[in-house]
Each structure stands twice: as C-alpha cells, then as structure tokens.
Structure 1
Amino acid sequence: MEMIIGSGIGLIVGVILALIVQNVLLKKRKEQILKEAENEGESIKKDKIIQAKEKFLHLKENHEKKIKDRERKLQSAEDRTKAKEKNLSKKIEEINRKEKSIDGKRKTLDEKIQLNLTKQEELEKIQDRRVLELSKISGMDVEEAKKQLMEALKDEARTDAMAHIKDIVEEAKLNANREAKKIIIQSIQRVAHEQTVENAVSVFNIDSDEVKGRIIGREGRNIRALESATGVEIVVDDTPEAILLSCFDPVRREIARLSMHQLVSDGRIHPARIEEVVAKTKKSLDEEIAETGRRTCIDLGIHGLHPNLLKMVGRMKYRSSYGQNLLQHSREVANICAIMASELGLNVKLAKRAGLLHDIGKVPEDEPELPHAILGMKIAEKFGEKPDVCNAIGAHHDEIEMNTMISPLVQVADAISGARPGARREVVESYINRIKELENHALSYDGVIKAYAIQAGRELRVMVESEKVSDLKADELSFAISQKIQTEMTYPGQVKVTLIRERRSVNYAK
C-alpha cells in the first residue's frame, strides 16, 4: 500500500516538475519569438524608411525635371515673344515710312486734281461758248438739238443692236445646237426601247367556250363576284375562246387576269372561292411589285431607296402615259440622264436617281388634286431624298424654278423619251386642238396673213404682209411668236418658227 502511495506521489511530483519545465521552456520560446519579431520589425522598418527615402528622392528628381522643363518652355516663349516684338517694331517702322510716302503722294495727287479741276472749268467755259455759237447758227436751242440727236442715235443704235443681236444669237445657236445635238444624239443612240403597246383592255384566253358558262355562274353570280372583288368589267361575248377584261387601272386588270387564270386552272369557281383567290392574288401582286422595284434599282445601280419608293417604282410597271409604259419610260429617262450627266461632268448617280423617280407622282395609291410633278417632289421629300433630286422631280414640267444642274437634264430626257417616234399615242382630238392653238398664236399678231403648222406640229410657217412688216421687224416678230409658244403651250420636242416676208410688184402692159 505504501508503495502504491509512494509511486502515486512520485508520479504527481513528476507531473508537476514536467509542467514547471514546460512552462519554463514556453517562456523561453515566447521571449525568443518576441525577439525575432522585434528584429524582423526593425528590419521592415529600416526597409520602409529606405524605400520612403528612395521614393522621396525620385519624386524630388521628377519635380526638378518638371521645373526645368517649365523654365525651358518659359524661356523659349519669352524668346519668341521678344522676336515677335522685334518683328512688330520693324513692321511699325515700315508702316510709318509708307504713311509718310503716302502723305507725300497724296499731296502731289491733290495738287494734280486741283490743276485738273481748273483745266476742266476752263474747258467747260469754252464748251459753253461753242454751244451758244452753234445754237445761234442753227437757230435751235440746246434742248431741241439734244432731242434730235438722241432720236437719231436711238434709231441708229436700235438698228445696229438688232443686227448684232441677230449675229450673236445665230452664233450662239450654232455652237449650242452643235453641242446639244451631239449629247442628245449620243444619248438616244445608246438607249433603244420598244414602241408603245399599252391599252385599257386585256384578253384572257380560254381552252373552250364551256369555261365561259362556269365563269358566269348561276344567274351571273360568279361574274358579279369577280367584278365586285376586282373592280374590272368582264366582257363575255361571242368572241371564240376569249374573255375581255376592261379597266383603265392596269393593276386591277392584272389582278383580275391572274385570279381568273388560277380559278380556271383549279376548277372551283364560286363566290367564296373567288374572294379568297382575289385576296391571295392581290398579296402576291404586291410582293411582285416590290420585287420589280428592287430589281429595277439593282439593274440601274441605284441604292438606298426607301421601301415605299421601291413599291412606287414597281407600280410603274402597271401604269402608262399616252400608251407608253411608265416604268419603261422612267428607266429610259434614267439612262438618258446618266449619259448626258457623264458627258457634262455632273453627278451620274444623282442624275440617274432623279430620272427614275421623276414620274412617281403618277402612281400614288391615293390621288390628291396636285400636279404629278409637285406630288412626286413632296413624296420624295417625305422619304428622305436629296434636295437636288426633289427639285429635279418638281421642276421637270416647270411647276417650280430649277435650281440645280440636274433639273434641266431630267426635263430634256423626259422630252426625248416621250417625243421619239412610236413612244406614245396621242388622242386625235387633242392633237388637232394643239395644232389649231399653234396657228392661232401666230395669227394673233398684227401683220400676219396666214399661219400653217406642218410636220406634225414641229414647224410653224408664218406669212406676213411686206408693207406692214419690215425685214428688221420680221426677226423681232419671229422671236416673239416663238417665245409666246414656249411660255403658253405644252408640246413634246421643239417647234421651229419660220417667218416668210414676200414683196411682189405686178404691172400690166397694154
């Protein structure tokens, strides 16, 4: 028992001693760590101080460099200022010298002017004395002599002026006509299109006359539904294997033709089916119109056109003017404009663009009461076209003033395209009225005996009385008639005015 107690006490004492030794070792370890930390802190502190000193020295060097650069710039600016001051002082001295020389010249000039005035006064006195002597000799006062002299000079000047004007006009016409003919002939030769084929009636061919009964339907309900849906008059008569579609709107006429073709091919013809087919045809035709406008612009090399303008260009395919297809006419005008613009050194792309769009006022879906040129100009402005193009569209029939070089090109190209043989059909009645109006314009002048329009209205022959119209007045009268026709009439191409003055002396020997 005692041994167990002794061994327990020894164990306890050993544990206590071990704890004491451990505490002593821990204290020594802590002291060692603290010393190491202090040493490391001192070294870090020294490093930071060294880094701070280096950074300070670096900043100091940079600052000194900046100060030196600034001083150098200030010195150079000061040097430039001094040089400018020297130049200014030199210029001031030079100006002062010039002022002195100008003052000397002015004094000399004033003296000369004074001397000239004195001489002028003497000459005026001598002239007055001569005038008095001449008035005494002629028996007329000065005012009467002036009037007679002025009248004589006016007559002589008028005659000479008319002769000079005639020579100048003839020379200008010769040169201008030569250049204009050259450009226009080159443009026409490089552009060739078919003749007019448009009309207001389309023919729908069928395989047999049995189809006519199916198109008419029971009590005519199918044909009424077709006419109501398309707005086209459908004429079913005795013409073998053909049905006539009559309408002045080519778009509606084309919708009716395509719808009938699809209905006949399908075989189901009744009012509900007719409305469905017509609606689909209208949609497909709208897509085709947009595609036609896009292809046209690609063919002509025109880019960036608004989608609504593209559709309008496509709608031109189904419009005609005096029997001339509007899209074909617009393409022709665009090509002619481009050719003439290239010959004259103008913007070819802008001229071609204006030529293509010049008649878009004829194809809007709504039809406001405006001239098509003004309407086309407003549409082009609405969809962001350039001012040069808008002015060319609005001015091609002289509704507004031309303010660009492209505008007269579009007007000339439009006239060329419409006036070429076979391009357009003109109503006989309007043609006769235009010819009569042409002759009446010439007959309205005093001294005109007869007037004849020949060569389909391209030339006007005017016969005058020789007693009332002199040779000089004949030129004036011919010019006046041409100007009146130009300002008061609308016509394709140009009208040549030929004035004929003849004097006959007849006697009889008995």
Structure 2
Amino acid sequence: MNIQVILLIAGFISLAIGSILGYFARQTVARKQAGTLEEKIQKRVTQARGEAETIIEKAQEKAREITATATKEISERRGELLRVEQLTLKREEALDRKISELERNEKIFRQRVEEFKKIKTDVEELRAQAENKIEQVAGITREEAKKEIFENVERAHDKELVAKIRQLEAEGLARFEQRAREVIAFAIQKYSAPQAQELTTSTVNLPSEDIKGRIIGKEGRNIRALERLTGVEIIIDETPDTVVISGFDAVRRQIAKLSLEKLIQDGRIQPARIEEIVSKVQEEIIKQMKDAGEAAVYDAGIVGLDPRLIQLLGRLKFRTSYGQSVLLHSLEVCHLSGALAAEIGANVAVAKKGGLLHDIGKALDHQVEGSHVEIGIRVLEKFGVEKDVINAMKSHHEEYPAETVEAVLVQSADAISAARPGARKDTVENYLRRLGELEALASSFAGVEKAWALQAGREIRIFVRPEAVDDLSLHKLARNIADRIQEELKYPGEIKVTAIREN
C-alpha cells in the first residue's frame, strides 16, 4: 500500500518536473524563433528600402529626361513660331508694297484715261472744225456729200448692182429651197406608217347562214334591240356568212361589231342578253381607248402626261378627219415634227409633244362648243401641259400666229401628213359631217333620248323618252323634226324620219 502511494507520489512529482522542464524548453525555442523572424523582417525591410530608393532614383532620372525633352521641344516650337511670325511680317510688308504699287498704277491709269478723254475731245473738236471748214468751202454738208457720192456710184453701176442683187437673191433662195427639201425629205423617209381606216361599214363573219335568222330574232326584235342600243344599221343580205354594220361613228360600229361577235360566240341572242353584252363592250371600248393612248405615248417616246389626257388621246383612235385616222395622223405629225426639229436644232421634245397633241380637241369637238384648236388649248391648260407645248400646237391651222420655231414645225408636219397622196378623202369627210349635223339637229328637240342617222343619211331614227312624249305628240315631234331638217339642212333626195316610243 505504501509502495503504491510512494510510486503515485513519485509519478506526480515526475509529471510536475516534466511539465516545468517542457515549459522552459518551449520558452527557449520560442525566444529563438522570435529572434529569427525579427531578423527576417528586418532583412526584408532593408531590402525593400533599397528597392524603393532604386525606383525613386530611376523615376527621378526619367522625370529629368522628360523635362529636358519638353524643354527642348518648347524651345524648338518657339523658334518655329518666331520664324513664322517673321515670314508673315515679311509677306505683309510685301503685300503692302504691292498694294501701294497698285494704287500708284491705278492713279497713273486714271490720269492717262483723263488725258485720253481730253485728247479725244480735242480731236473731235478739231474734226468738227475741219468738217465745218470743208462744208463752208464746198458749200454742202457732209450728209449731202455722202448722198451725192452714193448716187453717183449708183448711177454709174446701176445695172451691175441690180444684177448682183438678183444673183445673190436667186442663189440664196435656191440654197434655202434645196436645204428645205433635204430636211423635209429626210423627215418623211424617217417615219412611215400605214393609214388604213374603215370609213362607214364594218363586217362580221358568221359561222353559218343559220345565225342570220337568230340575229334578226322573232319579228325582228333582236336586230332592232341591237340597232337601238348601238346606233348603227345592221345589214343582212344575200352575202354568204357575212353581216354588214353600217354607221358613220367608228365607236358605235366597233361596239356593235364586238357585241355581235360575242353574242354569236355565246349563242344566247335575245334582247336582255344583247343589252348586257352591249354594256360590257362599251366598258371594253373605254379600256381600248386607254390602251391606244398609252401605246401612242410609248411609240412617241413622251413621258409626264396626265393619265386622263392619255385616255382622251386614245379616243382619237375611233375619230377620222377626211377619212384619215386622227390618232395615226397625230403620231405621224409627232414623228415628223421631231425629225424636223432635230434637223434644224430646235427643241425636239416640245415639237414631238406639240405634234402628238395638236388635234386633241377633236376628241371632244362634238361635245364642247368651239373649234378643235380652242378646245385643245383648254384641255391642255386643264391638265397642266407646258406653255411651250400649247404654243407649238395652237398655230397648226393659223388661227393663232406662230410664236416659236416648234409651232412652225408642227404646222409644217401637219401639212405634210395631210398632203400625202391618199391620206385624206374630202368627200367622205363632208358626208360624215352632214350625218353628224343631222343627228345633232334631231337630238336638240325636247324629249328625244337618242337619234341615229342610218342608211347613208336617208333615214333618221329617233328614240324618245316615254315619260316625256306620249303617243299623240309623237307624230307632231316627227313632223317638227322633218320641217327643221328641210329648213336648215340641204340633202339630195328625201330623208325618212322614224320616231320610236317604247314603254
């Protein structure tokens, strides 16, 4: 028991001694480590100070280099500015010297001008004095002397002068005529176009003879409906497989022809269908007019026209003048005017546009009062056409004086186109004009809805409005129209007046 206590006490004592020894050992090691770390830190601090001093020295050296470079550049810039300033001063001095020299020269020049004026005045005075003395000595004035000299020369060489003047006139006229022939010949040969035109009749080919009976219809209702709606005369005779459409208005004939062709193709030929087809064809004709106008403008190479004016131009496709298609005639005048203008150096664009539009008034001359030239001027002004073009077109019938070269060229081109052999037929034009007058007279009566001249003007067929004209007054209306025709119009033979009232 005691031994165990002793051993236990001895263990505690050993443990205490070991702990004390360990503590002192750790303190010793710690002091050694602290001394080593402090040395390292001191070494690092010393090294850092050395590096910092090196960096500072390098920075100071770099700053000194930059300062030296900047100082050098500033000195160079100052020297350059000084040189520029000196050069500018020299130039200003030179400029001042030149200005002074110019002022001196100007002063000298003015003095010399004044001296020259004085000398000129003195010379004129001396000349006047000399002329006065000569006139006093000779007894005649200068003008009288000049006149006498010319008269003496004229008397001495009268025949030679007259002969020379006539020779020069003849040679000049011959040259002008030759040049004019060359220009016109070149313009004519430069453009050529066919001028075929149906005058008063059109034909429709039939697939068989049986169609004629269907066109006539029961008791003639179909053919009467077609004639009433289109204003033409349908002629069905012994000619095989052919129907003739007669009428002086080309638009009506074309509407009737297309309508009849569509009815034959459709097969349903009866009054209601006829009215429907005619209405559709009338719309197609309006489109054809627009297409014809656009084709004419494209052919002429003209741009910038109002679309409504182009459509109005297309109406001339169905208009004739002395048997000549007005649209084809206008295109011909357009190209001839352009060729003539190019030959003599005039404005080609104005000449061509004036030539194309010179007869535009004929598209409306039966609807508006006035000559086709006056109507054309109003139409072109309405659609904003240039003043030069209006001046070029308005003189082609000499109603207005030609104000420009282009106006003369359009007038010449119009005459060339009209004078071409076979271009115009005066008799046919007069005949068509008389038919138009006949229709206009009948349409002027109150209650008349439509009036068609048929059978070459031997019949005037009148359709009245049933609400305005009754059966009792229908005969009186026909008699009044017949009396007016007899009084105002002159026609060979008799004219049949047919008045129709349909409920």
Task: Please state which band the TM-score falls in when normalised by the shorter chain.
Answer: 0.5 to 0.7
TM-superposed deviation, 1:259: 0.8
Query: Which amino acid in 2 is paired with 1:294?
Result: E
Does 1:174 find its partner at 2:169?
no
Provide the rounded CA distance (Å) in 2 between the counterparts of 1:345 and 1:98: 46
Distance, in Å, in 1 between the alignment partners of 2:199 and 2:297 is: 26
The answer to whether 1:315 aligns with 2:315 is yes
Q: Is the 8 A contact 1:198 1:324 kept in 2?
A: no
Correspondence for 2:137: 122
1:95 lines up with 2:110 in the alignment: yes
Contact residue 236 and residue 243 of structure 1 kept, 8 A:
yes
SS in 2 for 1:327: helix
User: Distance in 2 between the 1:125 and 1:184 partners?
Assistant: 56
CA drift of 1:311 comes to 1.1
Change over 3 Å in CA distance of 1:365–1:227 after alignment to 2: farther
Q: Tell me, which stretches of 5 or more residues in structure 1 are unaligned?
A: 1-72, 128-145, 431-510
Question: Deviation at 1:166?
Answer: 4.6
The superposition leaves residues 122-161 of structure 1 with CA deviations (integer Å, 9 ceiling, x where unpaired) of 321899xxxxxxxxxxxxxxxxxx9xxx9xx99x97x988
Q: Give the Cα separation in 1 of the matches to 2:357 and 2:206.
A: 38
Specify whether residues 120 and 288 from structure 1 end up closer, same or farther in structure 2 by C-alpha distance, changes over 3 A only. same
Most deviating of 270-279 and 76-85 = 76-85
3-state DSSP of counterpart to 1:391: helix
| Residue type of the alignment partner of 2:256 | A
Structure-2 change in CA distance of 1:112 and 1:181 (3 Å): closer
Counterpart CA distance in 1 for 2:294 and 2:329 is: 17
SS of the aligned residue for 1:184 comes to helix
SS of 1:314's equivalent in the other structure is helix
- Which range is displaced more, 416-425 or 95-104? 95-104
3-state secondary structure, aligned to 1:411: helix
Q: 1:168 to 1:90 in 2, by over 3 A?
A: closer
Change (3 A) 1:237 1:402: same
**Residues 299 and 90 (structure 1), Cα distance of their counterparts in 2 relative to 1, 3 Å cut:** same
Describe the SS at the equivalent of 1:395.
Answer: coil
Answer yes or no: is the 8 Å Cα contact 2:322–2:428 preserved in 1: no
Normalised by the length of structure 2, the TM-score is 0.58
Is 1:304 matched with 2:304?
Answer: yes
Instruction: Give secondary structure in 2 for the equivalent of 1:427.
Output: helix
1:383 lines up with 2:398 in the alignment: no
* Structure 2: segments with no counterpart, 5+ residues: 1-87, 143-147, 431-503
Question: Cα–Cα, structure 1 residues 429 and 260, in superposed 2: closer, same or farther, change >3 Å?
Answer: closer
- 1:229-265 per-position Cα deviation (integer Å, ceiling 9, x unaligned): 2222223344433222222211111011111111121
Quick check: 1:198–1:320 contact (8 Å CA) kept in 2? no
Structure 1 contact 233–246 (Cα < 8 Å) conserved: yes
How do 1:97-112 and structure 2 match up within 5 A?
97-112=112-127
Q: Say whether 1:341 aligns with 2:341.
A: yes
Q: Could you tell me which amino acid in structure 1 is paired with residue 133 of structure 2?
A: T
Instruction: Return the offset for 1:283.
Output: 0.8
Aligned-pair distance for 1:80? 8.4
- Distance in 1 (CA, whole Å) between partners of 2:214 and 2:93 is 105
Cα offset for 1:362?
Answer: 1.4
Q: Which runs of 4+ in 1 moved over 4 A?
A: 76-90, 159-166
Counterparts of 1:369 and 1:229 in 2: how far apart (Å)? 26
Q: Which residue of 2 aligns with 1:240?
A: 240
Trace 1:464-475 onto structure 2 (pairs within 5 A).
none
Question: Does structure 1 retain, via aligned residues, the 8 Å contact 2:329–2:417?
Answer: yes
Deviation string 1:300-357 (CA, Å, 9 cap, x unpaired) is 3221221122112222221222222222222222222222222223333332222222
Counterpart AA for 2:342 = S
Name the structure 2 match of 1:327: 327
* In structure 2, distance between residues paired with 1:161 and 1:325: 53
- Contact kept, 8 Å, 2:191 with 2:335, in 1: the verdict is yes
Output the CA distance in 1 between the equivalents of 2:417 and 2:125.
69
CA distance in 2, matches of 1:77, 1:368: 80
Equivalent residues of 2:199, 2:323 under 8 A apart: yes
Paired residues of 1:196 and 1:422 also in contact (CA < 8 A): no
Q: 398-407 or 418-427, which moves further after superposition?
A: 418-427
Task: Give the structure 1 partner of residue 56 of structure 2.
Answer: none
Query: For the pair shown, which has the larger CA radius of gyration, 1 or 2?
Result: 2
Helix, strand or coil for the counterpart of 1:243? strand
3-state SS, counterpart of residue 204 of structure 1: strand
Aligned residues between the structures: 335
How far apart, in 1, do the equivalents of 2:207 and 2:256 lie?
18
C-alpha contact 1:354 1:392 (8 A) present in aligned 2? yes
Q: 1:211 to 1:336 in 2, by over 3 A?
A: same
The equivalent residue for 1:203 is 203
1: CA distance, partners of 2:361 / 2:165: 41
Deviation at 1:209, TM superposition (A): 3.6
Task: Give the conservation status (yes or no) of the 8 Å contact 1:234–1:244.
Answer: yes
Counterpart check, 1:220 vs 2:220: yes
- 1:237–1:405 distance in 2 versus 1, CA, 3 Å: same
Question: Is the contact between residue 195 and residue 325 of structure 2 (CA under 8 Å) also seen in structure 1?
Answer: no
Structure 2: how far apart are the matches of 1:365 and 1:281? 24
Give the distance between the partners of 2:428 and 2:372, measured in 1 at CA: 23
Match of 1:34 in 2: none
User: Which residue in 2 is equivalent to 1:63?
Assistant: none
- Aligned equivalents of 1:125 and 1:244: distance in 2? 92
> Match of 2:350, as an amino acid?
L
- State the distance in 2 between where 1:422 and 1:313 align: 24
CA distance in 2, matches of 1:114, 1:291: 83
Contact 2:200–2:246 (8 Å) recurs in 1: yes
* Cα deviation, residue 102, structure 1: 2.5
Displacement of 1:162: 7.3
Mapped pair 1:262 → 2:277: no
- Give the CA RMSD over aligned residues: 3.8
Q: Out of 292-301 and 110-119, give the one that drifted further.
A: 110-119
Residue identity (%): 39
The residue that corresponds to 1:30 in the other structure is: none
Q: For residues 93 and 161 of structure 1, do their structure 2 counterparts lie closer, same or farther at Cα, with a shift above 3 Å needed?
A: closer
Who is 1:294 aligned against?
Answer: 294
The equivalences for 1:340-419 within 5 A come to: 340-364=340-364, 367-419=367-419
- Cα distance in 1 for partners of 2:421, 2:198 equals 15
Calculate the TM-score normalised by the size of structure 1: 0.57
- The equivalent residue for 2:423 is 423
Shift of 1:77: 11
Task: Find out whether 1:251 has 2:251 as its counterpart.
Answer: yes
